[in-house]
Chain A
Amino acid sequence: MTEPSNTDRKVTSLRELPQSIEPPHDLWPGIEARLGAIPAAADGATPAQRRAVRMRWLAAAAMVACVAIGVWVGRGLLPGTAGSGVVAVNTNPPQAVQPPVNAVPHEVYVSDPRYQEQRAALVRGLQARLAALPPAERDKVTASLQAIEKAKADLEQALGHDPSNALLQELLVNTYQDEMRVLTDVHEASDPGRGI
């Protein structure tokens, strides 16, 4: 049996024994290789159902990111609110979100011109494609995009305060990717014979 570090230490309670024991080597590569053959949790449905599930999770993920950023900013980063437990929530619609004072430019994270071109093309046709969707789906997509927009703004603001935070940077890039997925889904869904 692999023993935990510091095994010569003396203890008087079993609770003092280490709960965590690091595996002798990194198991992630093996896990990741096996994940490739497994459908994601949301799979196993029709393409339309899959898109609907994905849309729901994207919206939920964006909302969770908003709340997490709000807690993060409200607790420790905004002047005068450290430790107050106040959650900073921006209730403005996405088009009214003002650029934060210390915001880090998007281009720092998403500077690939191919991405910019693809996104611009998808955004150009967005309104027309939204109009082609059933009202319920349109509302869902709009809510998702608003949540993502807000998550982006909150993440950029948080990064303005903590530019070297790797997790924030990753979440921001993930949020951009989420936005592209939604835009692509809308694009595909409004094609004849397809639906969200």
Chain B
Amino acid sequence: MPHEQAEDTRVDWEGALVQRARTGDRRAFERLYREHAGRVYGLCLRMTRDPQLAEDCTQDTFINAWRALGKFETRSSLSTWLHRIAINVSLAKRRKSGRVESSPEEEEGAACEWTLETPVEVHEIESAIGELPEGARDALVLHALYGYSHIEAAHMLGIAEGTCKAQLHRARKLLRERLSVEVN
């Protein structure tokens, strides 16, 4: 089956599972969890840098999603909706743990492709991303890794678009320094 058709069919099943979960069907909700847990955990881990905290955030994300399923509009992306919840949960956990840092001054941020001039090993990049300041890391993860636009990423993080661009600019600069490679 061509990829496009398979994707369409998957989305149809997902809609059916969401509808069932809304009636209280936990088996349907478990299927949704199995489908999305990796992406949610990946995002939480990158935002918190703490595997245990990321597990807590992932669990809270799905608990909150279960509570709010009635508000989810099935025509929108479940993945994006779960990401929004995961980001809110992760930010709240970070605030609670006192790990809050101020945003930088807004500055001009260019549109980003995020390609590396020379190939770099995955673990090196992951490590460099992990060492970024929280604000810069959040914006980078959402924009460069998960493909959200400046506006979407800013909205998800609850910051101005200009601030998001500034954080990305900062992230690019720091990555360039830490990887010793040009980041375009």
Contact = CB atoms under 8 A, between A and B. Distances in A.
Of A21, A24, A42, A171, chain B has the most CB atoms within 10 Å of the CB of A21
A41 interface: yes
B63 A34 contact: yes
B42 A19 contact: yes
Contacts of A11: 116, 119-122, 125
Interface in B1-59: 1-2, 5, 8-9, 12-13, 15-16, 19-30, 33-34, 37-39, 41-43, 45, 49-51, 54-55, 58-59
Given A15-B145, A21-B41, A58 B66 contact: no
Given A11-B119, A64-B15, A32 B30 contact: yes
A61 B20 contact: yes
Contacts of B81: none
B116 A7 contact: no
Interface string A152-174: 00000000000000010011001
Interface in A130-159: none
A35 B27 CA distance: 12
Nearest to A37: B63
Contacts of B66: 35, 38, 40-41
Interface in A1-22: 1-4, 6-15, 17-22
B114 A14 contact: yes
B1 A57 contact: no
A76 interface: yes
A67 B118 CA distance: 48
A41 B70 contact: yes
Nearest to A67: B12
Contacts of B13: 68, 167
A183 to B, nearest CB: 15
Nearest to A60: B19
Interface string B85-128: 00000000000000000000000000001111011111101110
B39 A58 contact: no
Nearest to B13: A68
Interface in A83-129: 83
Interface residues of B, number: 63
B5 A20 contact: no
Nearest to A24: B51
B126 A3 contact: yes
A174 B20 contact: yes
B83 to A, nearest CB: 10
B45 A65 contact: no
Given A11-B122, A58-B23, A1 B42 contact: no
17 contacts: A1-B49, A1-B50, A1-B51, A3-B122, A3-B123, A8-B123, A10-B122, A14-B114, A19-B146, A24-B51, A27-B62, A64-B12, A68-B15, A68-B16, A75-B8, A83-B5, A174-B28
Interface of B: 1-2, 5, 8-9, 12-13, 15-16, 19-30, 33-34, 37-39, 41-43, 45, 49-51, 54-55, 58-59, 62-63, 66-70, 113-116, 118-123, 125-127, 130, 140, 144-147
Interface of A: 1-4, 6-15, 17-24, 27-28, 30-32, 34-35, 38, 40-43, 54, 57-58, 60-61, 64-65, 67-68, 71-72, 75-76, 83, 167, 170-171, 174, 178
